[in-house]
Amino acid sequence: MDKYEVLLEKAMQLHGEFCPGIVIGTKMCMAAMEKLGMNPLEQNENLIVYVEIDRCISDAIIAITGCSLGNRRLKYNDYGKFVVNFTDIKNRKTIRVSTRDDKVSSFTGFWTLLENILTSDKYTDPTTQREELETVAEIISQMSEEELLSLENVHLEIPENDIPGLPDHIAVCSICGEHVMDGKEFVLNGNIICRSCANENVKLVVNRFYGDFSSFDMES
């Protein structure tokens, strides 16, 4: 098997099936790691990956790069985009990889193929839909990097708290009393608040620290 087939098989073993996202994630890893001077067949402890969607490509990235939430080399930004930033933390070089918009191209690319499945009445049956997705995966497997992906050299600011290693401090939320690591807390009027309390108890937070919620300007 060639390099692509070896890496695709590794991604499929983790994900459990052959699908377009696994193909794209595999090709993303190969393209970005090679641009960074890394071997995709080997895990590299200097690599941090920021993935912008919680779909199939993420499993391919975990399987191939070895980056995970547990070793703090996989970061998740919930943007809903097939976009991944690969960063070499040794030299802070970052390659941003996205799926190319085939609507401005002369060929039928990934997005057109996917939209055809999602919008067609004949693909409402789960079995038929799965078969069509596998067909799309076969098609994009044959696409070149230039046809499928867009690669950019970008500058990405990486917070010190995102770097793997022991936490440099631990805070305690003033609302729930739970511990927060890696600088993920908020500080309002000198009070430490964890993100879950800030997100889920907006009214409570505002009433406690700013007064009457009904008169609070959320945009101020």
Q: Report the alpha-carbon distance of residue 136 to residue 152 in Å, rounded.
A: 25
- In this prediction the pTM is 0.82
Q: Kind and range of the H or E element at 148?
A: helix 145-148
Q: Express each pLDDT in 173-190 by its tens digit.
A: 998 899 999 999 988 878
What gap in Å lies between CA 146 and CA 38, rounded to an integer?
19
Indicate the fold that domain 3-162 takes in CATH: 60s Ribosomal Protein L30; Chain: A; (3.30.1330)
CA distance 147 to 135: 17
Amino acid 218: pLDDT: 39
- Give tens-digit pLDDT for 45-61: 999 999 999 999 999 99
Q: Kindly compute the dihedral angle of the four CA atoms of residues 184, 186, 191, 196, in this order, to the nearest 10 degrees.
A: -80
If one compares 162 and 215, the residue with the highest pLDDT of the two is 162
Pairing of strands 179-181, 170-172: antiparallel
Q: Which residue has the higher pLDDT, 25 or 218?
A: 25
- The residue type at 100: R
C-beta of residue 48 within 8 angstroms of C-beta of residue 21:
no
**For the chain, domain boundaries:** 3-162, 170-215
Which residue type does 80 have?
G
**Among 3-12, 13-22, 176-185, 190-199, the least confident range:** 190-199
- Report pLDDT digits (tens) over 100-152: 877 555 566 777 777 777 777 766 777 777 888 888 889 889 989 988 899 99
- Are the CB atoms for 58 and 51 separated by under 8 Å? yes
Q: Max Cα separation, the chain?
A: 66
